[in-house]
């Protein structure tokens, strides 16, 4: 069983200074048995770093309209069932289960903050400037500021498919983004520049290996990457190969929409 002390020791071995801002992605289930569960993990994180961000995404606020702009990586009219089960965003809406119990535990702690993007909010401690950097036009604003402030990404029992910051590299490389619609209690809002699919991000692992610090924990590994080194490597890769890091599912609407626009751009001129 993983104890609080094991977590603190492992985090300390990453040698990331306490004052360095970090974004942490985690999977409680892949860590195995942790004494005290998500609360213990959050406690160990906050004992190690002073500025901690986590994704607090809530995809169940999303609505799929009957029609909309073309090549938007979405089958319009396909959301009748999901639309019926839609939950409008409010600041206390729990983090999606797919994002993880650790982020939900951080969000519900006294003193934790949360941004108010209806789909892609972030939560954390001592991170107000990062949350303020987000709006409906700039959903990745917190990650951009984290990059500018030389923050680190920490993957706690998850792989690069959970590494949201790779979307910032896609954005900086000029990759196509999407429009989505989300419910607030009183209205539906358009959300711009929503990043695409992360299923192909595992392909970034070998490229990023030279800038990755790894520490074992239980049955898995903690990986940590400095954004100042990670982002430029990815931007160069995507600019060199515009199809890089897309997933291989033939039915992936978002990755196919990205491919369509690349072919259009290269064929058009
Ligand atoms: Zn995909």
Query: How are beta strands 62-63 and 188-194 bridged, if at all?
Result: unpaired
Rounded CA-CA distance 158/85 in Å is 28
Q: What are the pLDDT tens digits along the chain (269 aa)? A: 999 999 999 999 999 999 999 999 999 999 989 999 999 999 999 999 999 999 999 999 999 999 999 999 999 999 888 899 899 999 999 999 888 899 999 999 999 999 999 999 999 999 999 999 999 999 999 999 999 999 999 999 999 999 999 999 999 999 999 999 999 999 999 999 999 999 999 999 999 999 999 999 988 999 999 999 999 999 999 999 999 999 999 999 999 999 999 998 887 54
Quote the ligand 1 centre to 255 CA distance (angstroms).
4
CA of 229 to the centre of ligand 1 (A): 25
- CA of 166 from ligand 1 middle (Å) equals 14
Distance in Å, CA 248 to ligand 1 centroid: 7
CA angle 117, 237, 221 (to 5 degrees): 70
Residue 181's CB: how many other CB atoms inside 10 A?
Answer: 21
Beta bridge partners of 106: none
Q: How much distance in Å is there from the Cα of 73 to the middle of ligand 1?
A: 10
What burial class does residue 234 get, using C-beta atoms within 10 Å of its C-beta: 0-12 exposed, 13-18 middle, 19+ buried?
buried
Helices marked H in 125-164 — which ranges?
128-132, 141-148
- Ligand 1 centroid from CA 197, angstroms: 4
């Amino acid at each position: 069983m993983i104890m609080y002390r094991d977590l603190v020791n492992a985090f300390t071995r990453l040698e990331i200074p306490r004052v360095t801002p970090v974004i942490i992605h985690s999977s409680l289930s892949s860590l195995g048995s942790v004494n005290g569960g998500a609360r213990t993990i959050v406690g160990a994180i906050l004992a190690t770093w002073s500025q901690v961000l986590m994704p607090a995404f809530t995809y169940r606020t999303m609505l799929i309209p009957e029609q909309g702009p073309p090549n938007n990586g979405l089958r319009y009219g396909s959301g009748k069932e999901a639309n019926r089960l839609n939950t409008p965003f409010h600041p206390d809406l729990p983090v999606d289960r797919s994002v993880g119990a650790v982020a939900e535990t951080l969000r519900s702690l006294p003193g934790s903050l949360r941004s108010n993007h209806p789909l892609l909010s972030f939560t954390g401690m001592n991170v107000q400037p990062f949350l303020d950097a987000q709006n409906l036009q700039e959903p990745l604003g917190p990650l951009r500021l984290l990059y500018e402030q030389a923050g680190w990404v920490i993957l706690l029992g998850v792989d690069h498919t959970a590494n949201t910051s790779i979307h910032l590299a896609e954005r900086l490389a000029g990759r196509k983004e999407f429009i989505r619609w989300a419910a607030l209690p009183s209205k539906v809002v358009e959300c711009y520049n929503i990043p695409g699919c992360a299923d192909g991000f595992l392909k970034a692992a070998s490229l990023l290996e030279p800038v990755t610090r790894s520490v074992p924990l239980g049955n898995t590994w903690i990986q940590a990457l400095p954004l100042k080194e990670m982002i430029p490597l990815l931007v160069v890769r995507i600019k060199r190969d515009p199809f890089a890091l897309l997933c291989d599912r033939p039915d992936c609407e978002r990755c196919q929409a990205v491919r369509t626009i690349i072919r259009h751009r290269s064929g058009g001129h």
